[in-house]
Every structure is written in structure tokens, then in C-alpha cells.
Amino acid sequence: MAFIPSSPSSSSPGQSFSRPPRTPFVNHDKDEHRINERIRVPQVRLIDEKGGQVGIVPTPQALQMARDRGLDLMEVSPNSQPPVCKICDYGKFKYEKKKKEQIARKKQTVIKVKEIQLRPQTEDHDLQYKFKNVKQFLEDGDKAKITVMFRGREIAYVDQGYKMLDMLIQQVKDIAMIESPPKLEGKKLMMILAPGKKPA
């Protein structure tokens, strides 16, 4: 025999049963440090807001000390026995940490490799224009890969290609260093220059 659930006795016929609203879930684990009431160990080794060693105190007492100063109790070394906690302004701590991370990211230099292609019969004014571009790449902090292309019988002009690269090296010697010297690979003569400091 099938079981038919009965309606709650307090509900009148035709009245639908509604659930109470759910309490929204708050993920406290997104913070990398446990603070205040989230520190549930019985005692902690306490550091005050000035960096002074207070010693081992009951956690409720440490929390009250932080509250009396209008600050937070932050766990800084959870694996210690007992855990090490510090009295601090947690909001200010997070702000300063984020600011330091932003500064660190700005200091990270992304070096690009930009390429210039030449031919052994490139005319002088075109050559100087491309040399000027190489110089700009280096001054912008990027590397420059210079490739001299030889087609068909032009391979007989390899010496001309080396002369062109030597000419470029002389023009940028004060702002660049040779990362990869001129090297012939098949029908390509290649060299890589990297930014370098000017001599004092």
C-alpha cells in the first residue's frame, strides 16, 4: 500500500507550505588569516600591536585586549604550539599587503623580442631606418632579433650580411649587449641584441 504524506495539521485546505528563508552561506575561508572569533584554540602566544612579546595568554583574554585597543586579533603562525597571534588593524594589514603586491607586479619587467629582417642588398637609407627601429626597441627595454635573409644566389653575399650586422653593433654599442652573436643558419644570418646599460 502506497504511503500518502499527510498535510500539517495547522495548514488549512488549499494552503501551500512555505519554507523559511535560508541563511546565506558566508565563506570565511577566503581570508588567509583567521581573525578574532574564528581563532578557536584555548590559548595563543601573543604579540602586541607594537611587536612586543606578551607571552602565552588565554585566547579570550587576547581577544579582549585587541578589542580594548579597537584592533583585531590575527593568527600569524597557526602551526606553532600554541599558535602565534598578533594584535593589529586587519583592514590596514590587508590594504598594505595588496599595495605591496601591486608594486611588485609593476616592477616585473616583460621583455619582448622584436624582429627586423634585412636583405644583403638593402639600400643604405632603408638600412639606417631599420637600424633606428632596432635602437628604439632597445631603448624601450625590448630585445631585438636581426635576421639577414638570403635568397637563391644571394648566399654568395654572406660577408655583406656580417658587415651590416657589425655596423649595427657599432651604432648601438652604448645601449645594447650582444646576447647571441651573428650566426648563419641555412640561408639566414641571425643575431640577438639585448638592452644594456650605458657606460658611466
Nearest to 109 by CA among 141, 143, 135, 139: 141
Higher pLDDT among residues 199 and 180, named by residue: 180
Percent of the residues in the chain that have a pLDDT greater than 70, as a whole number: 81
Confidence of residue 117 (pLDDT cuts 50, 70, 90): very high
Confidence of residue 23 (pLDDT cuts 50, 70, 90): very low
Task: Using the predicted structure, report yes or no on whether residue 129 has a pLDDT greater than 70.
Answer: yes
Task: Please say whether the beta carbons of 87 and 66 come within 8 A.
Answer: yes
**Which architecture characterizes domain 31-100 according to CATH?**
Roll (3.10)
Confidence of residue 172 (pLDDT cuts 50, 70, 90): very high
CATH class of 113-195: alpha beta
- What element of type H or E holds 95? helix 90-107
- Residues 32-37 have a mean pLDDT of 89
Higher pLDDT among residues 163 and 16, named by residue: 163
- Comma-separated ranges of CATH 3.30.110.10 domains in the chain: 113-195
Structure confidence by residue, pLDDT tens digits, 36-76: 999 999 999 999 999 999 999 999 999 999 999 999 999 99
3 state DSSP class of 184: strand
User: Averaging pLDDT over each range in 7-11, 41-45, 100-104, which range is the top one?
Assistant: 41-45
pLDDT of residue 197: 60
- Comma-separated ranges of CATH 3.10.20.80 domains in the chain: 31-100
For residues 164 and 46, give the distance between their C-alpha atoms in angstroms, rounded to a whole number: 69
Contacts of 40 (CB under 8 A, 6+ apart): 59
Mean pLDDT, the chain, as a whole number?
83
Task: Using the predicted structure, report yes or no on whether residue 144 has a pLDDT greater than 80.
Answer: yes
Query: For residue 181, is the peptide bond before it cis, meaning its omega torsion is within 30 degrees of 0?
Result: no
Confidence of residue 27 (pLDDT cuts 50, 70, 90): very low
What is the 8-class DSSP label of residue 77? E
What is the 8-class DSSP label of residue 40? -
Higher pLDDT among residues 181 and 3, named by residue: 181
Report the 10 Å Cβ neighbour count for 1.
3
